[in-house]
Structure formats: C-alpha cells, structure tokens
Amino acid sequence: MGAKGPDFLVVGLQRSGTHWVAALLNAHPDISCFPTDYFDKGFGIYNREIVGEVYLFNTLASLEPDAPYNHTRPLEEYLTKHNLLFADLVPYKDKVSKTELYGMFIERYNKICEDHRQGKKLVGESTSDYVFHLNFIDSLYPGIKKLCIIREPKDKIVSRHFNMLRKGKKTETHISDEFIIDYCQTVIQKEYESLLAYSGNIHCFTYEQLSQEPQQVLKSMLEYLEVSIDNKIIEYMIAEGDFKKMSANDGVTGGRERGQELVGSVYRKGIVGDWENHLTQKQVELVDELVGEIRKKVLVKHKLL
C-alpha cells in the first residue's frame, strides 16, 4: 500500500504569511505542516534541506494546456532545485503518458508528505502559488482541504518590493507606479480571480485577522481541519509562530520583535499596515483602483467582511 499523502494544503496567497501559517499549524500536537520556514529540513530518506516550498502542483500544471500564464514552473527546474527530490523523475516526461508521469510524481510527493507526518494525525504542505491551480489540485486530490491566507494588497506590494531587493531581482529602492501596476495585474488580480472562480473545499482568513485575533482565527482553522481544540494548545501554537522565534532562524541575526525591521531577512518586519511608510497617497489610490473592487468581492464571498 502506497503512502497516504497530504491531508490538507496551504495554498496562498503570495507575500501573505504562508510560512507563518505552516509554523503555527506545525506546533499543534496532531498536525505536521511543512515547510515551516525557508530553512526547513526533511526527515528520514529525504533528510536534505528543503529550501522554500515544493511547488508540486504549479510545476505539474505546466504540462496542462490551460494552465495560467506565468504561474507555473517548468518541470526541468526539479533537475537543479528543491534538493533534487524529484530530479530522477524528470526524464520520464517524454517516455511515459502524462497520466503515468503524474502518478509517479504524486507517489513521490506522498512519500515526502508521509516522511514529514512523524506519526501525527494530519500532514500538510504549503506553497503560496497553489492558489492559481485549485481545480487542478482537486483533479489529483479530490476534495482535499485547503487553507488560504489573504493579505491587504498594499502590504503585499511592499513585501514583494523588499523581497525582490533581497534577492537582487530589483535595484530600484523606491516603489514605482509601474511596479505596482505590474504586480497588481499579473499576480494580485489573478489570485483574486482564482478564489472567486473556485467553489471547492477551502477555508480563507486574513493576515490582519490572524495578527490581531490569533486565538479566534486559529480556532476556526482547527475546526476546519477537525483536530482537537484547546486553549493551551492554541497558546502554544501562537508562541511557536511568534515573529521573534521565526526571525531567529533567518540565518542573518537573532530573533527580533515584530516591527523591528531587517531588510536583508526573509522575515523583514512582520506587521500590518507597513504600506503607510512606503506608498504615496496617489499610489494607494492606484492600488484601490486596480484591485479594490475584486478584493471586496473575495472578502464577501468568504465571509471576511
């Protein structure tokens, strides 16, 4: 009998705290969720560093004719990335049918998930770009539970800006109108469109709610996942997902208080409303014009307003 595979997925959104969500869930005694941060390590036969997310579904989706433009990854990236966990399967792309190829990747993915289960009731995996492929995910794992964290788009834009600076993919230290327009049109709007179009099994909540009312939001998440809910457990989860604890693992410096900025860290600042420090009033109006209406529709649909 093959490995069972994941019980749930954290599917997005980009620059919205998916690693934070994974760390919170991973602290529950009945849940294993990976990666909990950018420096997560696997276990057992996969005891090699897994840097970032696995990107399974948006990689396999690259083989689908109707996959969203610019939100897939070529299968060949597995030859050099993700610690070669799928590297030996890539050559089969031109040797077997697509159905057989998917089966091979799913079998491997299930083993990786089971390796992370560590005897717990549930195991889940987190990759922010999965939000673009919700129906495709269901075609491979029918009805699988999905968690999605939604963040104020202006904070997402600021987070994206600093993340690209950190990676050397952007040299302009200011946030231009062109940068805002591109990110809103190619990512944020597409994320919202995907959530609006999807009618399957998904539980959404906001970064702002999780920051301000963590107990309440975590309780709703645990109810959705159907695991034990206890105030002591929830407090422990909050402590394990604390910004100071997570930023201590960033490889740059020791832990920092939420709001204490370190531009070179993947955990830069971790606060709500940082956009007020970086966007002009005209840029705020531009973001609202581009994605304000569709964002409201998403929040209404998922009863977040």
pLDDT of residue 40: 42
pLDDT of residue 49: 39
Class of domain 1-151+202-241: alpha beta
Q: Residues in the chain with pLDDT < 70?
A: 1, 37-52, 250-253
pLDDT of residue 253: 64
Token pair 């990786």: residue: 112
- Residue ranges of domains in the chain: 1-151+202-241, 152-198+273-305
Nearest-angstrom CA–CA distance, 242 and 260: 13
Residue 222, class by beta-carbon neighbours within 10 Å (0-12 exposed, 13-18 middle, 19+ buried)? buried
Read off the DSSP letter of residue 55. -
pLDDT of residue 243: 93
Nearest-angstrom CA–CA distance, 171 and 151: 25
Summarised one tens digit per residue, pLDDT across range 205-219 is: 999 999 999 999 999
HEC string of 172-210 equals: CCCCCHHHHHHHHHHHHHHHHHHHHHCCCCCEEEEHHHH
Structure tokens at 273: 């409303």
pLDDT of residue 266: 82
Structure pTM? 0.93
Omega within 30 of 0 (cis) for the link into 65: no
Nearest-angstrom CA–CA distance, 34 and 116: 7
pLDDT of residue 38: 52
